[in-house]
Amino acid sequence: MTGTTRVPTTEITGVYGGVLKFAMRKMLGDVPESAGVLWHHPAVFKGLMGINAKAEKWDELDKGLGVLAHMATAATVGCTACLDLNYFMAHRRGLDEAKVREVPRWRESTVFTPLERRVMAYAEAMSQTPPAVTDEMSAQLLDELGAPALVELTARVAIMNTASRMNIALGIHSEEYAAACGLPPLAERSPVGSAA
């Protein structure tokens, strides 16, 4: 982990803690240091894990679009932990690594389709304070994706905003999962508002 968390880690204990550590080792190869930060309040940790587990079962939005939206949100908010973890998970799931790698600079990259760009623009606009989603953005995505997928996209971006902002506030940084499995570094983030 680069940097120091603002809340020190604590040992993950108990039956649920053991199950959690087993699941994280299976998914990530290790237990993230950040889990020890969140374990100070197991009910919060369990609640967040529950929301994410339920979201993983949603299936109206294409999974690849969901990953791009997650990463565009994390890049907008500035969460290195979320960017790294989503890049690593995209690799584990067999998604297009070269495309996922380019998300931080999606505006100038040539690898994205027009729909992928609109999804990332929506995620970025939703992640601004205050949100900058327009009627035109929503209408175009509604036409292309349909109402169920647009609702799911919006919920996924909202969940990622929660995780990203929480990580930043707690001082949780990338644990370099992507580097550990040999992925090239993520592209550098483009300034917001650059020409698309």
CATH number assigned to the domain covering 59-196? 1.20.1290.10
Query: pLDDT tens digits for 93-148?
Result: 999 999 999 999 999 999 999 999 999 999 999 999 999 999 999 999 999 999 99
Buried b (16+ CB within 10 A) or exposed e, 111-124: ebeeebbbbbbbbb
DSSP-derived 3-state class of residue 1: coil
pTM of the model: 0.91
Q: How confident is the model at residue 56 (pLDDT cuts 50, 70, 90)?
A: very high
Which residues have C-beta within 8 Å of that of residue 54, sequence separation ≥ 6?
A: none
> Is residue 194's pLDDT more than 90?
no
Query: pLDDT tens digits for 23-47?
Result: 999 988 999 999 999 999 999 999 9
Q: What percent of the chain has pLDDT over 90?
A: 85
Query: pLDDT tens digits for 154-164?
Result: 999 999 999 99
Q: Where are the domains of the chain?
A: 10-57, 59-196
Task: Give CA–CA dist 169/27, Å, rounded.
Answer: 25
Asked if residue 75 lies in contact with residue 49, where contact means CB atoms within 8 angstroms, the answer is no
